[in-house]
A and B are shown apart, each in its own frame.
Chain A
Amino acid sequence: MKKLHTLLFSATLLMGVAAHAQLRIDIAGVGSNQIPVAVAAFADESIAPQQVSSIIRADLERSGVFKVIDARQSISDKSNIDLAAFKASGADALVVGSVSKLADGRFDVRYRLLDTVKQGELSRMADAVAPRNTRLEAHRIADDVYEKLTGVRGIFATRITYVKQNPAARDYTLVIADADGENEQVAAHGREPIISPSWSPDGTKVAYVSFELRKPVIYVQDLVTGQRHVVANEKGNNSAPAWSPDGSKLALALSKTGNTQVFVVNADGSGMHRVSNSNGIDTEPQFSGDGQSLYFTSDRSGGPQIYKMGVNGGQATRVTFNGNYNISPRISPDGKTLAWISQRNGGFSLYAMDLASGQEQRLADGATEPSFSPNGKYIMYATKGGGRTSLAVVSVDGRIKQNLSTQAGNIREPSWGPFMK
């Protein structure tokens, strides 16, 4: 009997080992390039002037990075949640929250970000906000969701500036708005053109060119006080202001010497000095991320091309070689990517180049006046369509393209503001 048991036991052992041989499965290609996130309505969010969960949903959807799933219910941050049910719905993460009114009239906005797969909390926030800042708080929550799920800082709570114009009616407005085009405020308004707005690195000022004196003059306006001062009103054209990364200087294009050349000036208008040195047109200067170089457009080789020189001038090296019309250089915040406008086959297109490899990619057609988002992931630009000019956003890899919430009128010259502290 014992021998039988031993033999049966060893047989079972052998069969057991054989049964544990692995089944090999090969899977090729990912199902989606978007992260599925479920967003629930926040408990009591209708007491606030803005519906927080809809703003969060719109931000996440517009980014192109998420597949937003409507949780179809209101879930408070204080609830016990059946995360397994959400995992089964296909969501990787769930956004929940609540809004309650405080005695001083402010709203207490709370949110939690939950991982449906690992079944834990990824993040939470709780802030008391004035009613008029409900929108901004929703954007800040969307930024937190974006950052926790992608590792990249979000831009939903940033602001942009642009020019809205009706030339036929001689009506020009410099507008400050949220990055989604909402919440427009007027920074300057007049009957003469306003062009080339440029946001200061600390987000408190905008430099721009105004023709109100019947010639182009560069102003810097403090957005907090509304006060502005003249930075350059030299003989001829004063144009294309661009801030240094530390906010202490501006690079400008001035034609005071007869031909347009690149100058640098302190932010208060003092210390103006010439930096470029050619007999042609050098214009549209942009500081590099480290503030040590200037990229600019020059016609020194015939048609306009983009060059780079030290911030104190000297030898310039050419950067663009394809096509014979390359203008409007913009440098990504990390200094690694050049975006610019190239005229090829009759139209203007937005291109991006990896500066290390020189590899180019066409991102959008019918595009002018580009501006990088502060996280370097998106470029906003002006585009014509339907008889008017409006703003659009393209991701730096070209995958995602969106039109900005269409305000009426002709909108152009966008400048994307920085991260606010």
Chain B
Amino acid sequence: MMAAADNAGSGNTGTAAKSAAPTRDNGYIAAITAKVKGNSSYGGDLDQPGNPTVTFHVEQLPTGEIISVRKTRSSGIAAFDDAVEKAINKSSPLPKKKDGTVERSLEINFHMKDMQ
């Protein structure tokens, strides 16, 4: 028992971090992307220099219900920021992974224009 505790407490931090870090489950990412994008609407002028991007930090419960949406970087266009925030809120509850779990924290970067 002591040995097990020792393993868990010491040298295995690296392994534990790796297995708990988000693996790129592309199906999961695609499902969230589709839902948020599908819920987004923006009537402003898309003819902007570059590709304005807004970043939100999103927290969700294990049920997929969104409990926090926090803007961490503005696109510089307030109306676009608002439209994206609304799209994220409209998408609650977010889709789950195939195994029924969720990633509790998301960083969503929403770019105004489609990337060619």
Chain A positions near chain B (C-beta within 8 angstroms): 3-4, 7-8, 10-11, 14-15, 18-36, 65, 67, 87, 90, 92, 117-118, 150, 397
User: Can you pick out 25 interface pairs between chain A and chain B where the beta carbons lie within 8 Å of each other?
Assistant: A3-B5, A4-B2, A4-B5, A8-B8, A11-B8, A15-B16, A21-B20, A22-B105, A23-B103, A23-B106, A25-B32, A25-B109, A27-B37, A27-B40, A27-B110, A28-B110, A28-B111, A29-B111, A29-B115, A30-B40, A30-B83, A31-B40, A32-B41, A34-B41, A117-B86
Contact A22 B111 (CB under 8 A): no
Contact B16 A14 (CB under 8 A): yes
Within the assembled complex, what's the spacing in Å between the Cα atoms of A15 and B12? 10
Within the assembled complex, what's the spacing in Å between the Cα atoms of A8 and B3? 11
Within the assembled complex, what's the spacing in Å between the Cα atoms of A325 and B106? 57
Output the nearest chain B residue to A34 by Cβ-Cβ distance: B41
Which of A28, A32, A35 counts the most chain B CB atoms within 10 A? A28
Q: Chain B at the A interface: mostly helix, strand, loop or mixed?
A: mixed
Within the assembled complex, what's the spacing in Å between the Cα atoms of A35 and B40? 9
Within the assembled complex, what's the spacing in Å between the Cα atoms of A22 and B107? 6
Q: A8-B8, A21-B22, A117-B90 are in contact. Are A30 and B57 (CB under 8 A)?
A: no
CB neighbours (8 Å) of A34 from chain B are 41, 43
Within the assembled complex, what's the spacing in Å between the Cα atoms of A276 and B104? 71
Contact A87 B105 (CB under 8 A): no
CB neighbours (8 Å) of A67 from chain B are 41
Within the assembled complex, what's the spacing in Å between the Cα atoms of A348 and B41? 34
CB neighbours (8 Å) of A3 from chain B are 2, 5
In chain B between 13 and 35, which residues have their CB closer than 8 angstroms to a CB of chain A?
13, 16-17, 20-22, 29, 32-33
Q: Chain A at the B interface: mostly helix, strand, loop or mixed?
A: mixed
Q: A8-B8, A14-B13, A29-B37 are in contact. Are A65 and B43 (CB under 8 A)?
A: yes
Contact B89 A117 (CB under 8 A): yes
Contact A31 B90 (CB under 8 A): no
Q: Does B9 contact A (CB under 8 A)?
A: yes
What sequence of 0s and 1s flags, for each residue 73-116 of chain B, a beta carbon within 8 Å of any chain A beta carbon? Answer: 00000000001001101100000000000011111111111110
Identify B106's interface contact among A14, A15, A22, A28, CB under 8 A: A22
In chain B between 44 and 59, which residues have their CB closer than 8 angstroms to a CB of chain A?
45-46, 51, 57
Within the assembled complex, what's the spacing in Å between the Cα atoms of A397 and B8? 62
Contact B20 A18 (CB under 8 A): yes
Which of B1, B9, B111, B115 counts the most chain A CB atoms within 10 A? B9
- Shortest beta-carbon distance from B11 to chain A in Å: 11
Contact A14 B17 (CB under 8 A): yes
Identify B113's interface contact among A23, A28, A117, CB under 8 A: A28
